[in-house]
Amino acid sequence: MARPRLLQIQGSTRAERLAVTAQASEAVIACRGYILDYHQFSNMAVCFTIEIPPARLTELRAQLAALEIDLKPPAPEEQSLLSAAASPDEVAASLRIAFIHNEPDLRIEIPAIPG
């Protein structure tokens, strides 16, 4: 059986990184989605792994656009889910937000593990 593909929702913003990250998280939850994983790539981007009802994808895109996130157009897989009569209860997706700014890379110290 073929494994379903992970939808990819990608965008970029010039808005403040910490505020947009928190607001994007709230947008996923407001659309009845779940955040399964989160990765921060310095201060350049964040990537959420989410599950969301397909019927809420359009609402999520609208909420993200309201946060001044410039989203790439939906992929054909996402469009077919929106038009499918029998769509799954939830779909897995990655939400990647790139931050456009002139700041130097953020250095995150990783604590030493004893042993």
Q: Would you list the DSSP string of 61-87?
A: HHHHHHTT-EEPPPPHHHHHHHH-SS-
Q: Tell me what pLDDT residue 87 has.
A: 64
* CATH number, position 24: 3.30.70
pLDDT tens digit string along 3-30? 567 899 999 999 999 999 999 999 999 9
pLDDT tens digit string along 59-74? 999 999 999 999 999 8
31 belongs to a structural domain: yes
pLDDT tens digit string along 54-109? 889 999 999 999 999 999 998 888 877 776 655 678 899 999 999 998 887 777 77
91 belongs to a structural domain: yes
Q: Tell me what pLDDT residue 1 has.
A: 46
45 belongs to a structural domain: yes
Number of structural domains in the chain: 1
**Could you tell me the residue range of the domain that residue 88 belongs to?**
7-99
Sheet holding 34-41, edge to edge: 34-41, 45-52, 91-99, 7-13, 70-71
